[in-house]
Amino acid sequence: MTLTISDSLDRTSALRALEALRNGVPNRDAVRALGPTQPRTVDAFESLLTQLDSPAGPATVEGLLLSADFGVGKSHTLRLLEQLALQQGFVVSTVVVSKETPLHDPTRLFLAAVRNARIPDARGEFVVNLANKSKAKGSRYNEFHDWALRGQPHQIVEASAVLFERLTNPDDTRAIIDYWSGDKIGVSDLRRMMKETGIDSKAFDLKQVKQAELAPVRFELVSRLTRAAGYKGWIILFDEVELVARYSVLQRAKAYAQLTRWLGAVPNQSTPGIGAVATISADYALAALDGRDLVQVPQKLRAKGEEQSLALLSLAEEGMSIISNSSIHLDEANSQTVVSAADRLATIYATAYGVSPVIDPATMDANQFKDMRAYVRRWVNEWDLRRLHPDAVLDTEFEEIVTSYEEDKDLQAESSDED
C-alpha cells in the first residue's frame, strides 16, 4: 500500500503545508502533497509493518535506521512513514531526541512516546483511549490480560490489570490507566481499591518498582494494550538521534545500547509489538564513532569491570555497528526529484494564494544542493517575495548549517526550581 498523494488540498491545508515548510518541519499536509521521495525506505517500512502485524501475537521485529545529511529529508520521511502506519491501523509515536528526552533514558522515552502518540481514529490521551477501546475487544483483551497476569515480572502491574477489569469507580480506573501511562500510584490506594472490589490484596506483593525498571514493562504493556484495542501495533519514530553525540561517554554507551534494543530485535531485550525507525545524520559514524566512541565507550565500560557493564558494552558495540553499517542512506536530491518537488510545491502554492508561481529554471539545478530542504526553502521564500514585491530583483543567499558533535554538559544537567 502506498500513501495516497493528495493532489487536491483545500486552501487551509495548503497554507498549513507552506507554513510547516517555512519552519523546515514537514507536516501531514506537506508530506501528503509532496509525496514519497524515498522508495527503498518505504518498501523496507512496509515490510516492517507486515512483520509486526502478525496473527500469532505481537512480534519482535528489526527496526530501521535512516541516515542522511542535513536537509535531505529525514524528518519528511518520518512524517510520511507516520502517515503510512496510521493509514494501515497502527498507532504511532514520534520522539525527538532532546535534553528532556535523551535516548539513554527509557523512562523519559516512554513518557515522550505516550505524550506524542497518535491513534488513527482518535485524538490525545493515548493510553486512556486504548484502555477504553480494549475492554470491548474480546480475545485480544484476554491476551493482554494473560500477559499482565503471567507474562511480566511485577505483581504490582499484575494487580493493576486485575483491578482494571473489576473497577467501576471512574476515578480509580483513571488512576490505573495513569499508572500505566507513567504516573505513580500509592500502595495504600491499590489496597483500598482491592478491598472495595473484593480482591485479596495479600495475594499480591505490592512492592513499588523503580521507574527505570518499570519502563520496559510499561512499553510492553502499552504495546499489548494497543493490540487489545484493535490496532495492529505501535510504531515509534525516533528523530535527531545524532544529539546522542553531545552526551557523556556513559550516556552515549547507554544510548547505543538502547538503539540496539529498539532496532536490533535482541531476544528478551526488544519489545514485542513495537516497530522502531530512527534517523541519524549521515556523518555520525565518521564524526562521533571513528576515533572517539569506538575507543572511549569500550575503555569506559571495561574499566568498570562489572558484569553489568560488560553486558552493556556488548549492546553498545552492536548499536555502534548498526550506525556504521546498517543504516538506509536516504537518496539525495536529483534532477527528477527536484522537478517533481517543484511542480507539486507550485500546485500547493497556487491553491494557497490563488496565483501560480513561476518556477525559475535557475533554481532547478540538481547539482546545486544535496538537500531538498534548501530547494524548498528557496522556492517558498522567492515565491512569497515575488507575490509581495512583484517588481523586485531577488538575490537569495544561503548559509550552511553545521551539526556539532561535541559533548555538552548542559544537556546532561537537570534544571532546578531555582533556575
- Report the interface residues with another protein, using CB under 8 A: 11-12, 15-16, 19-20, 22-25, 27-28, 70, 96, 98-100, 111, 114-115, 122-125, 128, 170-171, 174, 178, 181-183, 240, 243, 374, 377-378, 381-382, 384-385, 388-389, 392, 394-401, 403-404, 406, 408, 410-411, 413-416, 418-419
**Rounded to an integer, what distance in angstroms lies between the CA atom of residue 265 and that of residue 270?**
5
**Rounded to an integer, what distance in angstroms lies between the CA atom of residue 322 and that of residue 64?**
10
> Which CB, 126 or 204, lies closer to another protein?
126
Backbone angles phi, psi at 66, to 5 degrees: -105, 130
Q: Which H or E run contains 83?
A: helix 74-87
Smallest separation (angstroms) from another protein to the CB of 158: 23
> Which CB, 181 or 260, lies closer to another protein?
181
**Rounded to an integer, what distance in angstroms lies between the CA atom of residue 357 and that of residue 386?**
9
> Which CB, 24 or 298, lies closer to another protein?
24
Smallest separation (angstroms) from another protein to the CB of 46: 23
> Which CB, 326 or 403, lies closer to another protein?
403
Smallest separation (angstroms) from another protein to the CB of 235: 17
- Using the Cα atoms of residue 360, residue 361, residue 366 and residue 368 in order, give the sign of their dihedral: negative
408's CB contacts (< 8 A; 6+ apart) are: 246, 247
Residue written as grid cell 547505543: 256
| Nearest CA among 392, 393, 383, 389 for reference residue 352 | 383
| Nearest CA among 259, 180, 247, 254 for reference residue 220 | 180
Written as nine digits, the cell of 2 is 502506498
Written as nine digits, the cell of 391 is 517588481
Smallest separation (angstroms) from another protein to the CB of 21: 10
Smallest separation (angstroms) from another protein to the CB of 25: 6
Residues belonging to the chain:
419
> Which CB, 11 or 302, lies closer to another protein?
11
Residue type at 42 in one-letter notation? V
- Alpha carbon distances (Å) from 127 to 258, 272, 278: 23, 17, 23
Smallest separation (angstroms) from another protein to the CB of 261: 23
Smallest separation (angstroms) from another protein to the CB of 378: 5
> Which CB, 56 or 393, lies closer to another protein?
393
> Which CB, 39 or 398, lies closer to another protein?
398
**Rounded to an integer, what distance in angstroms lies between the CA atom of residue 79 and that of residue 346?**
21
